[in-house]
C-alpha cells in the first residue's frame, strides 16, 4: 500500500527506516528534571541537566542531520515545557497526516498546541486524537503494520481508535513493563528485516511475534538504560546511535548498517534519545 513517494508532499511517512527528509525538533533551552516522570530521571534528579552542554550536543545532532540532507524544523521552546526536546511524543506521521497526541503527563500537556500552531501556519493536515491517551514514543510504524505500546502514557482505547480510523493498517497493541516509559525504549524497527529489542520488558508472545518478523538484536540491560533501542534511522541503512552503546552498534554494523555515533549523553539523562528527539514528517520510500 505504501508506494514509492514521488509527489511534492511536505508530509509523508510509512516506516521508521525510509530516507528521512524533514523532521521536527526542539532545542533543550529549558530542559530540566522538574517532576520525575521516568526511571532515568530518578537516577539523575540530583545531578540535573547541564543546559549549555545539552544545547551543544543537540546542535551537533542537528548538524549531522543537515549534513545528511535532512531539513530540520525547529519548534519554538517555552520555559513551561521542560520536556519539549522530545518532539516524538507529541505526535507521529502516517501517510500524509500528522497525528497529534493526547499527552498523559501534566508537565507535558500543552506541548501539542505548539506543534498544531506550526502545522496550521504551514497549512499541513493533522488529526487530533482527543479523549484517548497516546504518545508518539509508543507508536512504531512498519508499512501496513502499526505497533502501539500500551504503557502509562498510551492506552488500549487509543490503539482501538487508530484501528477504527485506519482500517487499511493492522494495529497491534504491545503491552510492556510500564517502568520503561515508551515502546521505543524497548523495541524499534530499523529496517524491513531487523529490529532492536529488550526482551525483559515484553511478553513471551510478543517476543515470538517480533522474532517471526525480524532478525532481532537483543539489547542488554546496561545498554537499555542508555537507550540502546532508541536509535534513529535516516534511510539507506544509516543509523544514529550513542557511542556508549558499543554492543548495539557492533551488531548493527555486522548487519551492514552505517552507524553514525553522536554523543547526546546530557539529553538522555531525562529519559529520551535520538528517536525521542525527532518527529519525522517526511520520509521518502525507495
- Report the distance separating Cα 106 and Cα 171, nearest Å: 27
- Report the distance separating Cα 154 and Cα 264, nearest Å: 26
Among 13, 26, 276, 277, the active-site one is 276
Of the candidates 237, 244, 236, the one whose C-alpha atom is nearest the C-alpha of residue 265 is 244
> Can 276 be counted among the known catalytic residues?
yes
Q: How would you label 118-142 residue by residue, b for 16+ Cβ within 10 Å and e otherwise? A: bbeeeebebeebeebbbbbbbbbbb
- Report the distance separating Cα 151 and Cα 147, nearest Å: 13
Q: Tell me the β-bridge partners of 279.
A: 24
Among 26, 161, 182, 185, the active-site one is 182
111-to-104, 194, 199, 224 alpha-carbon distances in Å: 11, 32, 31, 27
> Can 277 be counted among the known catalytic residues?
no
As annotated, the active-site residues are: 182, 276
Amino acid at each position: 500500500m505504501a508506494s514509492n513517494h514521488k509527489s511534492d508532499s511536505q508530509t509523508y511517512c510509512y516506516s521508521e527506516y525510509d530516507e528521512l527528509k524533514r523532521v521536527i525538533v526542539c532545542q533543550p533551552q529549558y530542559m530540566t528534571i522538574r517532576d520525575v516522570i521516568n526511571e532515568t530521571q530518578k537516577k539523575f534528579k540530583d545531578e540535573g541537566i547541564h543546559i549549555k552542554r545539552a544545547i551543544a550536543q543537540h546542535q551537533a545532532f542537528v548538524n549531522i542531520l543537515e549534513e545528511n540532507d535532512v531539513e530540520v524544523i525547529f519548534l519554538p521552546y517555552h520555559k513551561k515545557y521542560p520536556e519539549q526536546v522530545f518532539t516524538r511524543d507529541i505526535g507521529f506521521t502516517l501517510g500524509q497526516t500528522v497525528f497529534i497526541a493526547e499527552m498523559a503527563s501534566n508537565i507535558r500537556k500543552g506541548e501539542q498546541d505548539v506543534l498544531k500552531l506550526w502545522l496550521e501556519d504551514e497549512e499541513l493536515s493533522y488529526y487530533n486524537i482527543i479523549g484517548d491517551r497516546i504518545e508518539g514514543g509508543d507508536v512504531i510504524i512498519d508499512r501496513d503494520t502499526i505497533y502501539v505500546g500500551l504503557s502509562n502514557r498510551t492506552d488500549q482505547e487509543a490503539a482501538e481508535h487508530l484501528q477504527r480510523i485506519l482500517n487499511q493498517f493492522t494495529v497491534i497493541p504491545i503491552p510492556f513493563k510500564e517502568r520503561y516509559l515508551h515502546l521505543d525504549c524497548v523495541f524499534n524497527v530499523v529496517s524491513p528485516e531487523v529490529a532492536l529489542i529488550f526482551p525483559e520488558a515484553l511478553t513471551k508472545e510478543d517476543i515470538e511475534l517480533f522474532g517471526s518478523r525480524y532478525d532481532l538484536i537483543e539489547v542488554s540491560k546496561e545498554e537499555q538504560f542508555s537507550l540502546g533501542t532508541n536509535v534513529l534511522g535516516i534511510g539507506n541503512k544509516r543509523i544514529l546511535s550513542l557511542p556508549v552503546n558499543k554492543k548495539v552498534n557492533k551488531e548493527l554494523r555486522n548487519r551492514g548498517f552505517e552507524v553514525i555515533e553522536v554523543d547526546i549523553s546530557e539529553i538522555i539523562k531525562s529519559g529520551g534519545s535520538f528517536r525521542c528527539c525527532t518527529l519525522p514528517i517526511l520520509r521518502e520510500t525507495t
